[in-house]
Structure 1
Amino acid sequence: MVKNRRVKHFFILVLVGCAIYVLFGVFYTPSKGSTVLAKHVDSEDTITDLYKYNAIKSKTIPVKFDQRKKCLEGTNNCIRVFDTSVDYSSAKQIYTCVDLRIRSLAHTPICVYDPATDIYVSNSILNTGSWEHSYVLKVLDILSQDPNLEFVDLGCNVGVFTVAVAKHGRRVTALDANRKNLEMLTTSLKLGNITKMVTVVWNALSDIPETVGFKEAEGNIGGLQMVSDINAGNVNDDNGSIAIMLDDLIPMFRGKSVFIKMDIEAYELKAMLGGKKFFEEVDIKFLFMEWIHHKHTDIGSKIVQFMTERGYTPFRPSDNFLSRPLQITYRNNWPSDIIWIKDFSKTFSKRKTVSVVKAAVMMAIFAIVAVDFVFVLGVLVVIFTQ
């Protein structure tokens, strides 16, 4: 009697163990942003092409003021590829470096400003581990559905989106006018061992090549605005930058598909007008931008005209399936941030197909779990009724 009871207990343990193993195998999938993947994409064997992409030959050429920096060779205007091989970890603006915490990604360092001087972005990262977390997840979700999409971060600030996307294993081009931001971003990339995933460009964007000054917003370093029509002699690396046109970047992206995040503090229209050829020659599938500055302005109506004429449809980023377009006539009521999608009907059809496949996979998973549960239950009934 005792022996039979022990045999029953043994079989129960074996069956429970098998059930747990099956459930674990069904539900567990390694995170795309796991440390293993991050190391894989940053290895010498797998990022040779990325390394070549970053190692752009450059030369020093005269510019409007003494920048003493390198401009990209073979271009009409001064595209400055920021030197990410330099150690900026002792830069005085770096308050600290903490883990950027994005759901589904392995933690990776990001450097921030003193929250007293950057009450929005840096303060949010220090308190919550992230900034615009839901938007970052939306970007990663869209990128994960198209392995050929590159990410272009125009106005990268301290690099929340850039660092997250690079950690996700996708190539990034990050542009910012503020040298201090790029020194911090470079430090974050080095600490996270993802430098070779990112090309960093030190320029402002405008509709003409020009020298621009900075207009600082107190307590909001990310709110730095560009000022045109200034005396170039009064501008240096700390209070200004060299503006190029989006068209100048065509050689870097010709023939590629990209997702653009544009956050350049009300200079978006100027950037678009300086990028008419860019929109023709580069496949911009998605453009994520701030809308809060443009809700009630003529600039806003011109942006709408520019984008709709090129086949783009606006959406609310919080729309899970990006299936309900925003109404053009009610642009005053649009959210603070929007996503423009090119050829929406085609894109939505593809996303709908992906959603159907995901639903089918989930149904299959639940069917496996149900069968597994019924099997274990049936065996237990047989054992205890004998």
Structure 2
Amino acid sequence: MARKYNIQVAFIAIIVVVLLYFKQTKIKGFLIKNLYSGTPKTARTQRFPAIISNLVSEKEWEKISCVPFKVDRNISTPICIYNLTEGDNLSKVLSRGTVWQPHLIKTIQILKRDPELQLIDLGANLGTWTLSAARLGRKVLAAEMFPPTVIRLRKSIQLGNLQDLVTLVPKPLSDTRENVTIYLCRKSKMAINILMRKCSSPSPYVASTITMDDLTAYLPNGFTKAFMKIDIEGMELRVFNRSDHFLKTVDVPVILMEWRFYIRATLEPKCSYFISFMSRMDYIPFRHLAGPAGKLGPLLEDTHWLHITDLYLIKKTYLKSNFAHLQ
């Protein structure tokens, strides 16, 4: 009898140890590579943010899968993704534990060199840039317009305990305030825009646009200097049409923007106007940051403009003090 009792006690002890081990995992109460912790239902319920209750039910919130995202050699954070059956390329890459973009690695290096630099992430998507900067302890102003992606990003922020560092604006950006339909291009959740194209089909989502100047109202306290990443599927130039106030309020020494939509539009006035505007703001254009050869010449003379997909804009004063290798 005593032996049977001892076996039962030992069995119970093993179960307790296992549950305690799972409870101490970094991502508590959520799916981690098919591993689920023993966090009570009541504790999980408290994590469901009321702010998105109009977008998703608690049941659907719980179903969203999240995986570890390695920000740096010794730093990781949870990132929530789409089911792989939904065909989202970024989610597929993240599920394999791969760093998504070389530009992101470069940006992390820039942030590390300048402890005053925060991040503005316009077109945040699932949040690889937003979460990386926040995990490094930097404040982030992020804008993402697609509701299903906003839900996943909010969950990532919450699981990583980054709420105090990230301000998320769930709005599309433009140069006017209007109601727009959000379009999906193919199945990819990265190819989302408010410009109707042949490859696009309307989603059930309608949203109200805001301007970059409107983002000034969302700035966190002490947010005075930041690296800006802007990737909003062909709306970049229009957004900068209403950016004067914002760029005068926040010192943005480095801008990285998607340029692939403008490769065939370099002769159009909108491109010339944009480059002239940025020149007046003391920005110098670069196609890469590997060395002086990355500096771009005049828009209508330098043929490199016809081949770049991403454009760096760096303020002259910041270039001298932080990018000596580019001069």
Contact kept in structure 1, 2:71 and 2:135, CA below 8 Å? no
Check 1:130–1:240 CA distance in 2 against 1; reply closer, same or farther (3 A cut). Answer: farther
Asked if 2 retains the 8 angstrom alpha-carbon contact of 1:93 and 1:180, the reply is no
CA contact (8 A) 1:290 1:336 kept: yes
SS state at 1:101 partner? strand
Structure 1 counterpart of 2:215: 249
Q: How far is 1:352 from its partner?
A: 5.3
The offset of 1:276, in angstroms, is 2.4
- Residue matched to 1:194: 162
TM superposition score normalised by structure 1? 0.61
CA distance in structure 1 between the aligned counterparts of 2:213 and 2:247, rounded to whole angstroms: 8
The one of 61, 64, 76 aligned to 1:107: 76
State the shift of 1:307 in Å.
1.8
Paired residue type of 2:313: W
- Give me the CA root mean square deviation: 3.1
2: distance between equivalents of 1:259 and 1:220?
Answer: 26
The residue aligned with 2:33 is none
Tell me how far 1:177 sits from its aligned partner: 1.1
Distance 1:251 1:285 in 2: 20
Match of 1:347 in 2: 318
CA distance 1:241–1:352, shift in 2 (3 Å):
closer
User: Structure 1 residue 154 and structure 2 residue 122: aligned?
Assistant: yes
| Displacement after TM superposition at 1:322 (Å) | 7.0
Structure 2 distance, partners of 1:314, 1:281, is 22
**1:335 aligned to which of 308, 315, 323:** 308
Cα distance between partner residues in 2 of 1:142 and 1:326? 20
How far apart are residue 175 of structure 1 and its match? 0.7
Partner of 1:136 in structure 2?
A: 104
Residues 246-284 of structure 1: per-residue CA shift (max 9 Å, x gap): 111224449811211101110111110121222233211
Flag the 1:354–1:324 CA change in 2: closer, same or farther, 3 A: closer
2:156 aligned with 1:209, yes or no? no
User: CA–CA distance in 2 between the matches of 1:190 and 1:268?
Assistant: 29
1:105, 1:168 within 8 Å by CA — same for their partners in 2? no
Larger Rg belongs to:
1
Residues 26-68 of structure 1: per-residue CA shift (max 9 Å, x gap)? xxxxxxxxxxxx9xxxxxxxxxxxxxxxxxxxxxxxxxxxxxx
Tell me: CA distance 1:302–1:127, structure 2 relative to 1, closer, same or farther (3 Å). Answer: farther
Identify the match of residue 95 of structure 2 among 126, 130, 142.
126
**Amino acid aligned to 1:291:** W
**Residues 1:285 and 2:253 aligned together:** yes
In the TM superposition, what are the counterparts of 1:234-273 in structure 2 within 5 Å?
A: 238-253=204-219, 256-273=224-241
Gaps of at least 5 residues in structure 2 are 1-25, 27-49, 197-201
Q: How many residues align?
A: 264
Aligned counterparts of 1:323 and 1:348: Cα–Cα separation in 2: 14
Q: Does 1:303 align with 2:274?
A: yes
Match of 1:284, SS state, is strand
Q: Does 1:184 align with 2:152?
A: yes
Amino acid at match of 1:249: L
TM-score, normalised via structure 2 length: 0.71
Q: For the structure 1 residues 342 and 100, does the alpha-carbon distance in structure 2 shift closer, same or farther, using more than 3 Å as the test? A: same
- Judged with a 3 Å threshold, the aligned counterparts in structure 2 of structure 1 residues 83 and 217 are, in CA distance, closer, same or farther, namely same
Task: Verify the 8 A CA contact 2:179 2:206 in the aligned structure 1.
Answer: yes
Separation (CA, whole Å) in 2 of partners of 1:171 and 1:85: 25
SS at match of 2:164: helix
Q: What secondary structure does 1:221 align onto?
A: coil
Contact 1:88 1:183 in 2 (8 A): no
Partner amino acid, structure 2, of 1:139: T
Is the 1:162–1:172 contact (alpha carbons within 8 Å) kept by the matching residues of 2? yes
SS in 1 for 2:105: helix
Identical positions, percent: 26
Q: Say which structure, 1 or 2, has more relative contact order (CA 8 Å, 6+ apart).
A: 1
Q: Which amino acid aligns with 1:202?
A: P
Offset of residue 294 of structure 1:
0.9
Q: Does 1:326 align with 2:299?
A: no
Conservation of the 8 A alpha-carbon contact between 2:139 and 2:165: yes
Assess if the C-alpha contact under 8 Å between 2:71 and 2:77 holds in 1.
Answer: no
Aligned to 1:59: none
